[in-house]
Amino acid sequence: MGPGKLVCLMILAFGLLGFLFIISVVLALIPLYIAKHSGTPLTGSASNSLTDCQTLTAKFNTTCSSGPVTNIKATTGTNVTCLGLTGTSNSTVKIRVQSNGLPLFCPNIPMLDTFSEQNIDFEVNFNPAVSVNSPIFKPPTQSALDSILCNISSEMAPPSSSGYFLYSTPASGGTLAGISVDGVSIFNVNSANNQDPFYPSTAGPESVDQCLAHCNPTGAVYHYHIASGCALNPPSGNITSCSANTSCSSSIAAYSISTFTNYKQLTVIGIAKDGHIIYGPYNSDGTKVTKGFDICNGMFYDKIGNYGYFATQTFPYITGCFGPGNYPTITPSCTTNPASAYTRSYYARLFTTG
Ligand SMILES: *[C@@H]1O[C@H](CO)[C@@H](O)[C@H](O)[C@H]1NC(C)=O
Ligand SMILES: *[C@@H]1O[C@H](CO)[C@@H](O)[C@H](O)[C@H]1NC(C)=O
Ligand SMILES: *[C@@H]1O[C@H](CO)[C@@H](O)[C@H](O)[C@H]1NC(C)=O
Ligand SMILES: *[C@@H]1O[C@H](CO)[C@@H](O)[C@H](O)[C@H]1NC(C)=O
Ligand SMILES: *[C@@H]1O[C@H](CO)[C@@H](O)[C@H](O)[C@H]1NC(C)=O
Ligand SMILES: *[C@@H]1O[C@H](CO)[C@@H](O)[C@H](O)[C@H]1NC(C)=O
């Protein structure tokens, strides 16, 4: 074979290799293209029909059985109901949440604290559709991030698109972030000094009972800042304080997650004041949620585009703001236990444009 022929063969071989490479790249890109441009919605929607709402309310420990109540305190317990608007022009399903705020177990309240029944009563659009491409919070700087996440007042009012309506002003004022399935208040994550209550960067941690809740000094409202399995599986009899329980006192954040050992699936633990569902620490595939969420602790968790909050082992534990939020590389300065990074979930990436 002459040198001319060899060169020819080599050109042919490289050409073929290049061709095969281009083909394989194209083949690999096709499913991604299809995912982005056909079956999967780009903007994302939300499961917010009356039936979807009723599926959610069934998870709540609704104890009332008849008649709308003007003051839930006059009855006992919790009433979480869906209101389907029947008009053809507006099918927004609303959820009305009424709770006396009392737990299904005996809390461990320090002797000098007071503890009182509440009249929590609000209505909000059920699970409104939101988009990863239009975050409600996108702080660009450390101070902007801190003014949202290190701010007990930042969940005072949900975004107007939530159609939030308050029937009765709660004693907790603006610090109520949502209601747990057991009817107990979920407060904004911050302590009164705008710090992580459990892993503050300044001052000392707050104390809670073994169900991870305590009362606030002003309104005597029993509340969670971090998720507790007691909401799903209330203990009977007297419980202790967290400090008296070695696993709780050694790491309250790890203990919080450990109370969900029997719930390693997508598990509703409450509803946020913005109408989004709050889930426990596990995803639908049984994995613990350690990434995929934004600064608010919210995640796009399915191919429909549903957005919900997840219980995490890192600050803000349940919800830090009414999202969606952004995914900055900075973390809040009021905690020594921040998320290691904010990352888009698989679905959030699918819906991201631009
Ligand atoms: C409500 O709480 C009680 C007492 O723990 C429990 O038996 C019941 O199953 C709960 N209901 C719902 C819907 O979770
Ligand atoms: C619960 O609230 C809904 C909506 O206001 C109402 O229709 C229902 O009758 C209430 N049930 C109880 C027991 O209060
Ligand atoms: C439908 O109802 C929602 C919730 O009340 C409201 O925000 C929205 O403006 C209404 N839309 C129309 C077209 O009436
Ligand atoms: C805390 O959040 C509220 C509500 O968004 C806001 O009005 C206030 O300015 C914030 N405070 C700080 C110190 O950023
Ligand atoms: C529970 O605590 C109360 C108040 O301290 C006490 O009177 C009661 O005996 C305790 N019950 C049990 C079963 O320990
Ligand atoms: C600590 O709490 C866990 C979960 O509630 C419980 O199983 C355990 O017995 C408690 N330990 C002590 C020493 O109270």
pLDDT of 135-144, one tens digit each? 999 999 999 9
Residue 73 has pLDDT above 70, yes or no: no
| Residue 99 alpha carbon to ligand 1 centre in Å | 15
**What gap in Å lies between CA 108 and CA 208, rounded to an integer?**
8
Helix (H/G/I), strand (E/B), else coil: 31: helix
> Which structure tokens are listed for 100?
């006396």
| Residue 248 alpha carbon to ligand 6 centre in Å | 8
User: For 109-113, 155-159, 231-235, 312-316, which range has the lowest pLDDT when averaged over its residues?
Assistant: 109-113
**What gap in Å lies between CA 87 and CA 350, rounded to an integer?**
34
Whether the CB-CB separation of 84 and 50 falls below 8 Å is answered with: yes
Confidence class for position 5, pLDDT limits 50, 70, 90: low
Query: Which sign, positive or negative, has the C-alpha torsion 236, 240, 241, 242?
Result: negative
304 lines ligand 2 (CB under 6 A): no
Best mean pLDDT range from 4-13, 154-163, 214-223: 154-163
State the average pLDDT for the chain: 86
User: For 61-75, 273-287, 302-316, 332-346, which range has the lowest pLDDT when averaged over its residues?
Assistant: 61-75
H/E segment holding residue 254: helix 252-258
Best mean pLDDT range from 23-27, 48-52, 95-99, 188-192: 188-192
Please give the angle made by the CA atoms of 2, 6 and 12, to the nearest 5 degrees. Answer: 145
Q: Determine, yes or no, domain membership for 8.
A: yes
Confidence class for position 3, pLDDT limits 50, 70, 90: low
- Render pLDDT for 24-60 as a digit per residue (tens, 0 to 9): 655 555 545 545 544 444 567 999 988 898 898 888 8
Higher pLDDT, 92 or 43: 92
Q: Determine, yes or no, domain membership for 20.
A: yes
Top mutation candidate among 143, 150, 152, 154 for ligand 4, by most atoms within 8 Å of CB: 154
Measured by CA distance, the residue closest to atom 11 of ligand 3 is 90
Residue 28 pLDDT: 57
Whether the CB-CB separation of 226 and 233 falls below 8 Å is answered with: no
Top mutation candidate among 228, 232, 247 for ligand 6, by most atoms within 8 Å of CB: 247
| Mean pLDDT in residue range 252-267 | 98
Q: Determine, yes or no, domain membership for 325.
A: no
Measured by CA distance, the residue closest to atom 14 of ligand 5 is 238
| Residue 149 alpha carbon to ligand 4 centre in Å | 10
* C-alpha torsion 178→183→187→192, nearest 10: 150
| Residue 150 alpha carbon to ligand 4 centre in Å | 9
Ligand 4 atom with least separation from CA of 194? 13
Residue 345 has pLDDT above 70, yes or no: yes
**What gap in Å lies between CA 83 and CA 60, rounded to an integer?**
16
User: For 119-123, 130-134, 264-268, which range has the lowest pLDDT when averaged over its residues?
Assistant: 119-123
> Which structure tokens are listed for 16?
């073929």
First vs last C-alpha separation in the chain:
54
Higher pLDDT, 176 or 37: 176
Measured by CA distance, the residue closest to atom 5 of ligand 3 is 163
> Which domain range does residue 6 map to?
1-39
Q: Determine, yes or no, domain membership for 6.
A: yes
276 lines ligand 2 (CB under 6 A): no
Residue 66 pLDDT: 42
Confidence class for position 281, pLDDT limits 50, 70, 90: very high
Whether the CB-CB separation of 156 and 174 falls below 8 Å is answered with: yes
Q: Determine, yes or no, domain membership for 301.
A: no
CA contacts within 13 A on the Cβ side of 312: 28
Top mutation candidate among 136, 150, 151, 189 for ligand 4, by most atoms within 8 Å of CB: 151
Helix (H/G/I), strand (E/B), else coil: 240: coil
| Mean pLDDT in residue range 101-126 | 85
Q: Determine, yes or no, domain membership for 17.
A: yes
**What gap in Å lies between CA 96 and CA 82, rounded to an integer?**
6
205: DSSP letter: P
| Mean pLDDT in residue range 263-272 | 97
| Residue 234 alpha carbon to ligand 1 centre in Å | 9
| Residue 102 alpha carbon to ligand 6 centre in Å | 22
Q: What is the CA radius of gyration of the chain?
A: 24
Helix (H/G/I), strand (E/B), else coil: 21: helix
Task: Give the burial string for 55-71 (b: 16+ CB within 10 Å, else e).
Answer: ebbebbbbbbeeeeeee
Whether the CB-CB separation of 78 and 99 falls below 8 Å is answered with: yes
* Count of C-beta atoms within a 10 Å radius of residue 119: 19
Task: Give the amino acid at 199.
Answer: Y
Q: Determine, yes or no, domain membership for 23.
A: yes
If one counts the domains in the chain, the total is: 1
Confidence class for position 157, pLDDT limits 50, 70, 90: very high
Residue 89 has pLDDT above 50, yes or no: no
